[in-house]
Amino acid sequence: MTPPVSVSPAELSRVLTFLPRTRFVYLLRRTVTPADEADPPGLKPKTVLVMGLYDWFAHLNGYITDDQQQRLVAKFDDVLGALADASWRILERLPAVLTLSDGRYAAIHTRPAWYDYELDEELETLPGACVTHVACDLTALLMRLGKRIADLRGGTDAGHTDPGRAADGPR
């Protein structure tokens, strides 16, 4: 399932399941890149991915702070942009995964260094073995968002929930 070419903010708001409405509006204002005249209408793919990532952070229920989330998104901005623009055939063969370790370190498989989001610095190696790892498959996240938007547009989302979606998530 590939994401639709054009997604409106209202559609995106409806398919995100954990991000409270006020946080959604705040983050969307920070995330949206101004459109050029040549751009199709709607949100850019990178904006959809980043907002989906913020929704994933929200479901972690405080594992990392809002400030740390924004630092992570800024640090991996180039990678997130490349992922959002990549061919789906490439992504399906080589899933992109963001890993958070011990509530302090982050890595995306395409970057050789770790990022300490508590101290805001890159590390060539971790100071020791990490015990806790939380991972987000960014490719699956994009595909899930694309399916939810397609379901929404097809009218099949009424009363629909899937295992990865809170039935009555916060709004």
Domain that holds residue 75: 9-94+142-154
Residue 102: inside a domain = no
Q: pTM here?
A: 0.83
Structure confidence at residue 27 (pLDDT)? 95
Chain centroid to Cα 167, Å, comes to 20
Q: Can you tell me the distance from the alpha carbon of 74 to that of 154, in angstroms, rounded to the nearest whole number?
A: 34
Residue 123: inside a domain = no
DSSP label of 113: S
Residue 134: inside a domain = no
Structure confidence at residue 109 (pLDDT)? 82
Residue 129: inside a domain = no
Per-residue tokens: 14: 């409806």
Stretch 127-156: mean pLDDT:
90
Residue 150: inside a domain = yes
Structure confidence at residue 68 (pLDDT)? 95
20-62 pLDDT, tens digit each: 999 999 999 988 866 677 766 788 888 999 999 999 999 999 9
How many domains does the chain fold into? 1
Residue 75: inside a domain = yes
Residue 63: inside a domain = yes
Closest CA to 7 of 160, 139, 144, 146: 146
* CB-based contacts of 57, cutoff 8 Å, min separation 6: 63, 64, 69
Q: Which of 81-90, 106-115, 150-159 has the lowest mean pLDDT?
A: 150-159
Residue 88: inside a domain = yes
91 has pLDDT over 90: no
Closest CA to 138 of 92, 171, 78: 92
